[in-house]
Amino acid sequence: MDRRQFLTAAAGASLTAASNIPAEALVQQKKLRVGLIGCGWYGKCDLFRLIQVAPVEVVSLCDVDSRMLAEAVELVSQRQASHNKPRAYRDYREMLKQKDVDIVLIGTPDHWHALNMIAAVEAGADVYCQKPISTDIAEGQAMVNAARKHGKVVQIGTQRRSTPHLAEARDIVRSGALGKIGLVEICCYYHMRASGNPPDGPAPEYLDYEMWTGPAPMRPYNAWDHPRGWRAFMEYGNGIVGDMCVHMLDMTRWMMGLGWPKSVTSSGGILVDKASKANISDTQAATFDFGETKVLWEHRSWGDAPDPAYPWGAVLYGDKGTLKASVMSYDFKPNNGQAVHKDVTYELDQYPIDRTERDLERHCAPAIRHHMLDFLNAVATRGRPVADIEEGHISTASCILANISMKLARTLVWDPQVQRVVGDPEANKLLHRPYRKPWVHPEA
């Protein structure tokens, strides 16, 4: 089968969410009212992609940074069709108390996702929440339960599931062209771990640091904390595994139709850059055992990537061929036949503002738009989106288990029915991180 024949056959196969957007996603019975909690980098990226694909009205914005909030109000008034300025809030509870939003987008740091999402569905909104869904596994369980209890659609921002070229790659996998896939290698070799040791000091006057910290442990304020540098600290997230592995593991699970891993093993730590203030690992390997398929993760925030073309991606090894996949491209090499290469899809002509929007990852913009369309379709039909909260929970919890395994230096066997580690009370205690008072963990 040559490349053209193969792609023609793949196009005739079962269509993915990214390539088959139902018309009802584009036509709503009413203009949906939208609120955003967390007006920083990806919060605005997500919101502006939603504005591009649907006639929504952004009515509320919330952020603990007054300067960031004011800027977002102005940008939204420029971008939305009505040019109305949304109301501004410093406390998400005050925003949700109005109960006048149909959709809430959540772009806060990871340690806030659980409380924000649960409060939003309790207020009657459907939710688009950034990944990873939680900082501990008990939070994730509570989030799934809340979405189901209130009958709300919750889409997680694992937009690899809606990336056009990766949807095509998934069709290759589902066609059986790789044969039996026994091993998948996923990785990230970006030098993304913060280095250096900036001094602690007072928080800027425009930032409500008490509220920014919320349920997380109170650390002395550091310039890395805000904006965007908080991932250097385990107090607010789950390190590079929680940030980057969650995407590639979720993509692999989606492509192959995998559920929970049977067990997780991980090792690593701070092996090279011991001088940095960052307390996340700079080196880590993990094995997610799905039975007949093993998924191996590795990250290093130092040294070279083994394959410079795929510094963050996945390699699926089958007995009939190999597939490499990343946010930028895919390469399918069958044992017998012509290789297939596909680059990321850009939509700069259709959406020219993508060319100039500050901080936008242009290669991700089409994926976010498709992801928003899938979300809107689920909102309209009351179905499950492609990155439903439960799928986000599985991928997030698996990464958290890797961190727990590394901490305890042993393999963790997972029971998905009871959501516990089998025969390991010490590990199970780590499924729930303590909250700083007066915040109450949603498990309680």
- Residues 137 and 205 placed together within one structural domain of the fold: no
Q: Report which of 287, 340, 319, 332 is spatially closest to residue 181, judged by C-alpha positions.
A: 319
Beta bridge partners of 181: 318
pLDDT tens readout for residues 330-352: 999 999 999 999 999 999 999 99
With residue 283 as reference, give the H or E element that holds it: strand 283-289
137 domain-assigned: yes
- Residues 123 and 267 placed together within one structural domain of the fold: no
Cα 181 to Cα 60, 166, 176, 367: the distances in Å are 47, 17, 9, 26
pLDDT tens readout for residues 296-315: 999 999 999 999 999 999 99
Using CA atoms, how far apart are residues 42 and 40, in angstroms rounded to an integer? 6
The structure tokens listed for 39 are: 């007006």
Share of the chain above pLDDT 90, in %: 93
pLDDT tens readout for residues 164-222: 999 999 999 999 999 999 999 999 999 999 999 999 999 999 999 999 999 999 999 99
Share of the chain above pLDDT 70, in %: 93
- Residues 146 and 240 placed together within one structural domain of the fold: no
Using CA atoms, how far apart are residues 357 and 213, in angstroms rounded to an integer? 29
Q: Which residues of 11-49 are buried (b: 16+ CB within 10 A; e: fewer)?
A: eeeeebbbeebeeebeeeeeebbbbbbbbbbbbbbbbbb
pLDDT tens readout for residues 46-89: 999 999 999 999 999 999 999 999 999 999 999 999 999 999 99
365 domain-assigned: no
442 domain-assigned: no
Using CA atoms, how far apart are residues 80 and 86, in angstroms rounded to an integer? 10
- Residues 265 and 405 placed together within one structural domain of the fold: yes
Number of domains observed in the structure of the chain: 2
> Where does the pLDDT of residue 25 fall: very low under 50, low under 70, confident under 90, or very high at 90 and above?
very low
pLDDT tens readout for residues 90-119: 999 999 999 999 999 999 999 999 999 999
Structural domain of residue 222, as residue ranges?
A: 164-350+389-429
Q: Which residues of 251-274 are buried (b: 16+ CB within 10 A; e: fewer)?
A: bbbbbbebebbebbbbebebeebe
Give this prediction's pTM. Answer: 0.94
Task: Kindly report the CATH number assigned to the domain that includes residue 36.
Answer: 3.40.50.720
Final residue belonging to a domain, choices 108, 130, 160: 160
Q: Would you state the pLDDT for residue 295?
A: 98
Residue 2: pLDDT over 70? no
215 domain-assigned: yes
